[in-house]
Homo-oligomer: A and B are copies of this chain.
Amino acid sequence: MHAAATSAAVRAPESDVETAIARLSERFGPRLSTGAAIREQHASVVTWIAAEPPDAVAFPRDTEEVAEIVRICAEHRAPIIPFGAGSSLEGHVNAPFGGVSISTAQMTEIVAVHAEDLDAVVQPGVTRKALNAHLRDAGLFFPIDPGADASIGGMAATRASGTNAVRYGTMKDAVLGLTVVTASGEVMRTGGRAKKSSAGYDLTRLFVGSEGTLGVIAEVTLRLHGSPEAVAGGVCPFPNVRAACDAAILTIQTGLPIARIELLDAAMVAATNAYSRLALPVAPTLFVEFHGTDASVHEQSERFGEIAADLGGGPLDWTTKAEDRTRLWTARHDATWAAAALRSGAKPVPTDVCVPISRLADCVEETIEDIARSGLVAPIVGHVGDGNFHVLPLVKPEDAGERAACAAFISRLVERALRMGGTSTGEHGIGQGKMAYLEAEHGAAAVEAMRALKRALDPFNIMNPGKIVIP
């Protein structure tokens, strides 16, 4: 699973990281750190992918400082690794060839909120929770919700999505424009504040999901939404996982504008009960939420209840109370930790795939059978309205056999998703962890086009090298 195995690239011989760091240190003083602890905190820490710390971490405060750092690194061909909240899951923030991490921890300004246009301009280190706290009084919200309190810059870079994507889309839809520092240290604007444009190539969408390999995101213009007048939600158990998936499928197919529809398999419900002190029936369960007017959330809830009942599910235990909903969704977001608590000494290896919605039940069912055959402990939780689900195998890091079994399982999971017309990752990204599947998913010509784009925008391969594609 480690990128080094698939990597044909090495740091360019002319790369002189030491001189770059010396110059950065002179310029930025204590805002350029080479301490071991700091460096280790800026390697991939949340998954089993081996941590590869950078040689130094820089803490710029604004776009111009990011540009300065990039220009110095570029001059000495030092690799640059943009770093947000560190919550990415596929080794995106590792430094396999060393170099300088650019942390956005000091770029946390909400530059502007244009309530009348439903947009905001933020520095990349602003987290989604900080942004929503800031927006609340204005009656606005930013819907993209990957669970972790990720940074907006990181979310843009990885094309994040999460529980609300079924209604509000992903970062591809939420980002109106970007300020990007190019690989040569120039400051570039992509997109703007108009809601739509057909003026030239869509650079915004090219940088959204580029994982720091084409440039550094230094500012983000985001689309916001008005807070819904009424919110209702609830939990709904099902006799089996197929029935739960079929309910999600029918909900989407009938055009119900559901805001959230999340599957927890029985293993995940048990883990969540234990970790979050809930008392849900241990059965495959959908967590649902409806946004709208009072009348429309009632109508939606009723319709969803009918769909569930037709499939033997229910009853839908629903509520419009904010505190009950918060408790439920906190439990949902703690799924990774709940899963981890199932097996002491084990580490969760979160992975995700996404399939066309009609294949969701097949894919989840086959995956559960595969988990059983593999002898893995691996709860499932997912954004099933999008056909997207996560598996959380719990693996003892020191056990090579378990690691191999897990890697083989993930390979089979990806192959299954691709066979069903899906993708190797719905929202986690490629990073180091899924590079091996890129060609199987997209074909040689598309991967070659990606390489050509990478060479065009980062000719010296200094931008987050060793991620997505080897140019």
Contact = CB atoms under 8 A, between A and B. Distances in A.
Given A189-B446, A194-B422, A198-B430, 5 more contacts: A160-B198, A161-B198, A173-B173, A205-B205, A295-B299
B206 A201 contact: yes
A456 interface: yes
A252 B161 contact: no
Contact of A197 (B117, B189, B354): B354
How many copies of this chain? 2
B114 A358 contact: yes
Interface of A: 114, 116-119, 158-161, 165, 169-170, 172-173, 182, 186-190, 192-203, 205-206, 208-210, 214, 225-226, 228-229, 249, 252-255, 257, 293, 295-296, 299, 354-358, 386-388, 417, 421-430, 434, 437-438, 441-443, 445-447, 449-450, 452-457, 468-469
A200 B295 contact: no
14 contacts: A117-B357, A172-B202, A186-B445, A188-B445, A188-B446, A193-B421, A194-B354, A194-B417, A196-B354, A196-B423, A200-B430, A205-B206, A225-B255, A449-B457
Nearest to A187: B445
Contact of A202 (B208, B252, B296, B456): B208
A430 B199 contact: yes
A201 B25 CA distance: 33
A457 B454 CA distance: 11
Contact of A356 (B117, B159, B198): B117
Contacts of A388: 194-196
A199 B209 CA distance: 8
A205 B198 CA distance: 11
Most chain B CB within a 10 A radius of its CB, from A194, A229, A445:
A194
A193 B445 contact: no
Nearest to A181: B445
